[in-house]
């Protein structure tokens, strides 16, 4: 299992301000409670305890593998040219240009360095744990594993690419603190939204979700129910997204969702019995009582 119980020790502040590190094409995603009921999607990887955001890389490390592949491509093109030249003019003609071999050696060295830097892993995930309130960033490239409180994370939305702002749109999770042994800061590119407004809605719901004293937001219930029906957790272990962990028993046994349609209040709901479902990880009975009433006001009860 991933570690979300213990916060990483020996943390440090970022080496440069986030706005400067990301550049002018990135915009901080803000919390927006205006449409908390309207955004919902069952395809999100959220199971009642964990929310997993598929990580496509970091804004710097994700380029290493591509750079290495590009270097090897040029190396192969030169070799093909040498073979064609040897077949056309004689085998010894292949050895008449030492500068080509020097270039090939540089390309091999460059590619080897880039591949080593990448250490590329497929389908890793940044995992938010509602129970502990912590966020798990997997080890990636030269960066060690990082576990920090959710309050120490921001989301940015922007564009990357050589087109200076008109490239691929990207959602980026930015830690506010880093492992002291990490040589530099790293921003983690994740998949969660198609545009800035949607990113704001998702970030709002995720912020609500990570408060274990609150009911799971309406917009995430479809995703949670989807996982419960299949008894599959949202965590992605190792490099294989298909080999999912079984659902947390505390979620599996307690969470069942119904939508409250008793608008005339002719039925008295057993509030005391559903406390552990409204927020099963909470240790604050007063907040639980308030949020049971909040769920009722939203025409939503969980039992």
Contact between 139 and 114 (Cβ < 8 Å) = no
Residue 40: per-residue pLDDT = 67
pLDDT tens digits, one per residue of 183-230: 888 888 888 888 888 889 899 989 989 988 877 777 787 788 788 778
Band of residue 148 on the pLDDT scale cut at 50, 70, 90: very high
Band of residue 68 on the pLDDT scale cut at 50, 70, 90: confident
Residue 123: per-residue pLDDT = 53
Please give the average per-residue pLDDT across 152-177, as a whole number: 74
Residue 162: per-residue pLDDT = 39
Least reliable range by pLDDT among 41-55, 57-71, 123-137: 57-71
Residue 13: per-residue pLDDT = 92
pLDDT tens digits, one per residue of 256-272: 555 555 556 666 656 56
Percent pLDDT > 90 in the chain is: 15
Q: Is the pLDDT reported for residue 176 higher than 90?
A: yes
Residue 300: per-residue pLDDT = 59
Q: Tell me the three state secondary structure of residue 232.
A: strand
Task: List, in sequence order, every beta strand (DSSP E) within the chain.
Answer: 11-12, 26-28, 45-46, 50-58, 124-129, 134-137, 146-149, 153-160, 168-175, 178-179, 188-190, 257-259, 300-302
CA-wise closest residue to 18 among 168, 224, 187: 187
Q: Is the pLDDT reported for residue 136 higher than 60?
A: yes
User: What pTM did the predictor assign?
Assistant: 0.72
Residue 58: per-residue pLDDT = 58
Band of residue 165 on the pLDDT scale cut at 50, 70, 90: very low
Contact between 52 and 125 (Cβ < 8 Å) = yes
Structure token pair of residue 116: 């080593």
What string of DSSP letters covers 87-107?
HHH-GGGGGS-HHHHHHHHHH
Q: Is the pLDDT reported for residue 61 higher than 80?
A: no
Provide the mean pLDDT of the chain. 77
Residue 141: per-residue pLDDT = 66
Residue 42: per-residue pLDDT = 61
């Amino acid at each position: 299992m991933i570690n979300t119980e213990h916060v990483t020790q020996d943390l440090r502040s970022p080496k440069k301000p986030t706005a400067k590190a990301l550049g002018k094409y990135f915009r901080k995603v803000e919390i927006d409670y205006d449409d908390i009921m309207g955004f919902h999607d069952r395809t999100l990887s959220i199971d009642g305890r964990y929310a997993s955001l598929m990580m496509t890389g970091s804004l710097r490390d994700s380029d290493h593998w591509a750079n290495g592949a590009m270097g090897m491509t040029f190396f192969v093109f030169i070799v093909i040219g040498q073979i064609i030249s040897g077949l056309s003019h004689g085998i010894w003609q292949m050895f008449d240009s030492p500068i080509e071999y020097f270039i090939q050696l540089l390309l091999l060295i460059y590619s080897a360095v880039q591949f080593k830097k990448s250490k590329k892993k497929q389908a890793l995930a940044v995992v938010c744990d509602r129970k502990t309130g912590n966020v798990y960033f997997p080890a990636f490239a030269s960066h060690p594993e990082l576990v920090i409180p959710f309050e120490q994370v921001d989301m940015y939305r922007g564009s990357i690419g050589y087109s200076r702002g008109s490239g691929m749109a990207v959602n980026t999770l930015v830690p506010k603190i880093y492992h002291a042994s990490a040589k530099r800061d790293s921003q983690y590119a994740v998949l969660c939204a198609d545009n800035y407004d949607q990113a704001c809605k998702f970030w709002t719901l995720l912020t609500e979700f990570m408060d274990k004293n609150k009911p799971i937001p309406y917009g995430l219930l479809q995703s949670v129910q989807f996982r419960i029906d299949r008894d599959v957790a949202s965590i992605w272990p190792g490099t294989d997204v298909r080999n999912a962990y079984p659902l947390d028993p505390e979620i599996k046994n307690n969470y069942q969702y119904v939508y409250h349609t008793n608008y005339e209040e002719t039925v008295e709901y057993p509030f005391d019995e559903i406390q552990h479902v409204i927020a099963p990880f909470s240790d604050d009975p007063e907040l639980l009582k308030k949020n049971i009433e909040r769920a009722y006001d939203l025409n939503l009860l969980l039992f």
